A and B are shown apart, each in its own frame.
Chain A
Amino acid sequence: MLRFLTKRAGDGILTLAALVTLTFFVMRLAPGGPFSSNRKISPDILANIEATYHLDEPLLQQFLRYVWGVVRFDFGPSIRFRDYSVADILISGLPYSLTIGFWAVMVATVTGVTLGILGALKRNSIIDYSAGVIAVIGIAVPIFVLAPLMQVYFALTLRWLPVGGWGDSWRNLVLPIVALSLPNIAYISRLTRAAMIETLRENYIRTAVAKGIGGRRVVWNHALTGAVLPVVAYLGPATAAIITGSIVIETIFALPGIGRHFVDAALNRDYPLVMGITILYGGFLIVFNILADILRGWLDPRVRNE
């Protein structure tokens, strides 16, 4: 276990290093700079500002300066949001992304797995078909279509919930969480259903049934473990993606998370902020994949012994 963790952590750090290097240099290939502007600013002023952010140094020196900073957990100043350091922005944005993301993962997992199991147990029943329809809608209709429709219906027509923003109450969270979890409910319920059907055909299930163990216990104690394995594998990267902030959701619901900063930073060539969010996202992805592997190993001896 310790060897497994050490190896995975080592791989993760190497991956992050490659990610940092690649992102740093590829980003500089994009035309335009943070201070490109169509107000004709005098060269003296521009030189002062570039010196403030060390943008006047050779690229390699900037890279080394950046890496040295990252090693000390200093991610540099943001150029687009002049009042804040990159760390300030990540710390201020993460709680919002985490809150929405955490609940979206919860809702998606619980609902998705439940729908999947019910569909598998009562194949071709009304429940199965409705779960199927929900899944198809969730996968096929993009969030940017569904979310505004939900806003119009629940906020403008029924006046139950606010359109967007953050702060007043839990009511601000309902629509974003539902919108963010819908596609994941769809995927998870499909994955669970397929895995459940497959598991129910396995020999050990047949043995259990033959021994006279009741249907409910077979499902709960024997089949479920096998059925959630693919879901766990899916949840690793999906959780990382959801938690680091859905750009679309945050824009449509005007939420102050990380995702919007990422887009703003890229469009405005805020190099340090793009780097910071990339590292954060990469780190989350690696950590959640390791967690998913550990969880799968715990659930499935075959994975453990590999």
Chain B
Amino acid sequence: MTTTRLSILAGSWLALACAFAAPAFAQDDTLDRGIGSEWSSMDPHVNFDAAAGSILSDAYEGLVNYNGYDILPGAAESWEVSEDGLTYTFNLREGLVWSNGDPLVAQDYVDGLMRTLLPDTGSERGYYFTSVVQVVGAADIINGDATDASGLGMTAPDDRTVVIQLENPAPHVMNILGGAFSMPPLHSPSVDAGGAGVFVDPARVVTNGAYLIREIVPQSHVLLERNPLYWDAANVSIPFVKYHVTEDASTELLRYQAGELEVTYDIPLAQMESLQATVPDEVKITAGVDIVYYSFNLLREPFQDINLRRALTIAIDRETLEGRIVRSGATPNYSFSGGFDPNYNMPVFDEAAMTQEERNALAQELYAAAGYGPDNPLTINILPTVAEESVRRAQGIALMWKQVLGVDAVVEPQERKAWLDAFYAGTWDVFADNLVGDFPGPETFLPYMRPSAEAGYNWVSPEYEAAMDVASAQTDPQARLDALAVAEKILLDDYIVAPISIIPTRQMVSPRVGGWVESPVGYHNSQYLTLE
């Protein structure tokens, strides 16, 4: 609080005097990475965004680690799952230590989860342990019914064993224990002494990952240095990693071209084609766990007719839309969840096998059956965000609906927060919706569509609820995926949303960087990379 009391002006003039003597931290052995907007928090139990996620997954290690699609041992060298799929037992490595040399014990992981859940922390991450998976007792701590860990389904029977108990089987729990959104441990002595402020103070922060936090400059960068005490330090090749805030994608690309960055966060849409033509090996486009679909307002009379919803869904030529109009590297999607798991037998909507001409002809019939035609056209609005990509996509779809069906669709782009609010206000006919998943698999998306989980769609479907209940009771991964496919087909058959596409991650990666593997969730821990 003392800094709050400081006279702002005096502080800044003083700093102005020092500004020209800014320390030089440029190293040739530094991997420079763009992260887009500034991290929202360096507190590993609070952060809820991807920018900080990349930095934090270098600095803190969960029980497991990810590289591409692979789930690798992290702090835990092995684990067992009980027969009923409810109990996970993790065996920690021997001799784990924090970056200050303190021993890292199982209880530190329990403390980390407790800190995440306690109301005082004000963390959104409790969502992973009550919504994505249900850890026994987690909800009670969030809503204040319990204040200690005695009822929590995460325990440390000894220093090297962590036990997690779930209320329902959830094989995907393995997907949230590591990586950018991991369940990081808590170094209680430093946080008890300095509060949450230690996480942005390189002198006091204690980490357990492959890298140490060396320097934090808001709106500029975070500098990391290899952690010599990390258990796998011998295999960490890059000595320094510097994450740069790169708000403007055009500047980011120029900095990349000038050699100031080796990895970018994004690629400006206008440059995609020329880059793909000139430096195809450096352009990395991966389908991300990020789906776009257009939701129909079921409270408005026209959309209560399934013929109309179906006509609008199939009158979109997704290949032309993404390949010729939007051109952002997105993949046309004919399912809802987009798959992502190679073992998932992904259902698609019935007309996916037809040619677009056949679909258009059918759409015209359905449109007429719903009572619309040239003399009586449907007039609707579409609400995308103001992002260039979403607006282009909405305009392309409006054009196709006009050409194929004669629909008069008005595109009304909204600033992002207003767009989020508009969803619940229901001030739309068609909502240009999207969901960002937490792990690669259908189960990151399908539970959202349960009428009981999300009232905003105004969808009534006991069949879908029942099918999802069947799926969530399965302990065998393949049986679970098969049950999820049954549920997804119910969703698709009702045409309450029109699947559109899968949004990619677009990055430039320098040829100097080795070990880069495709990752739909965008996990690219620096410890697995090399720099020439």
Contact = CB atoms under 8 A, between A and B. Distances in A.
B12 A95 contact: yes
Contacts of B512: none
Interface of A is mostly: loop
Given A82-B40, A254-B246, A51 B3 contact: no
A167 B247 contact: no
Interface residues of A, number: 70
A85 B8 contact: no
Contacts of A81: 38, 40-41, 218
Interface string A261-286: 10010011100000000001000000
Interface in B422-467: 422-423, 425, 433-436, 448, 453-454
A84 B257 contact: no
Nearest to B254: A163
Contacts of A37: 124, 420
Contact of A169 (B24, B422, B433): B24
A83 B41 contact: yes
B260 interface: yes
Q: Which of A44, A45, A85 has the most CB of B within 10 A?
A: A45
Contact of B15 (A44, A74, A83, A94): A94
Interface in A66-84: 73-75, 80-84
A253 B248 CA distance: 9
B493 to A, nearest CB: 23
A152 interface: yes
A94 B12 CA distance: 6
Nearest to A260: B219
B126 interface: yes
Interface in B336-391: none
B161 interface: no
B142 A45 contact: yes
B28 interface: no
Interface string A240-269: 000000000001111111001100100111
Interface stretch (A18-26, A106-114, A154-162, A223-231): A154-162
Contacts of A129: none
Given A166-B22, A167-B24, A80 B130 contact: no
B38 A253 contact: no
Contact of B244 (A74, A148, A165): A165
Given A148-B254, A159-B258, A87 B417 contact: no
Contact of A165 (B37, B255, B419): B255
Contacts of A94: 8, 11-12, 15
Nearest to B454: A40
Contacts of B40: 80-82
Contact of B417 (A48, A84, A260, A268): A268
Interface stretch (A7-15, A27-35, A186-194): A27-35
A181 interface: no
Contacts of A167: 22-26, 217, 220-221
A151 interface: yes
Contact of B218 (A31, A52, A84): A84
A165 B416 contact: no
A156 B248 CA distance: 17
A87 to B, nearest CB: 5
Contact of A31 (B13, B20, B130, B418): B418
B321 interface: no
Interface in B50-91: none
A169 B220 CA distance: 15
A294 interface: no
A124 B154 CA distance: 83
B20 A39 contact: no
A84 B119 contact: no
Contact of A168 (B26, B124, B130): B26
B473 interface: no
A297 to B, nearest CB: 24
B417 A269 contact: yes
Interface string A96-117: 1011001000000000000000
A90 B218 contact: no
Interface in A160-186: 162-170
A125 interface: no
Interface residues of B, number: 78
B143 interface: yes
A151 B257 CA distance: 11
B301 interface: no
Nearest to B257: A156
Contacts of A42: 126-127, 130-131, 139, 142
A102 B13 CA distance: 11
A38 interface: yes
Contacts of B319: none
B251 A39 contact: no
B250 interface: yes
Contacts of A140: none
B280 interface: no
A73 B254 contact: no
Contacts of B126: 42, 44-45
A221 B24 CA distance: 46
Contacts of B217: 92, 166-167, 256
Nearest to A80: B40
B421 A36 contact: yes
Interface in B250-280: 250-252, 254-255, 257-258, 260
Nearest to A284: B9
A48 B122 contact: yes
Nearest to A90: B8
Contacts of B142: 42, 44-45, 48
A12 to B, nearest CB: 15
A38 B435 contact: yes
A133 interface: no
A164 B260 contact: yes
Contacts of B255: 162-165, 254
A89 B218 contact: yes
Interface of A: 30-33, 35-42, 44-45, 48-49, 51-53, 73-75, 80-85, 87-96, 98-99, 102, 148, 151-152, 155-156, 159, 162-170, 251-257, 260-261, 264, 267-269, 280
Q: Nearest 3 A-B pairs (CB), nearest first?
A: A32-B417, A95-B15, A52-B122
10 contacts: A31-B421, A38-B434, A42-B131, A42-B139, A87-B3, A92-B217, A164-B260, A165-B244, A254-B220, A260-B219
Given A32-B415, A73-B4, A94-B15, 7 more contacts: A38-B435, A39-B124, A88-B3, A91-B8, A91-B12, A156-B254, A163-B258
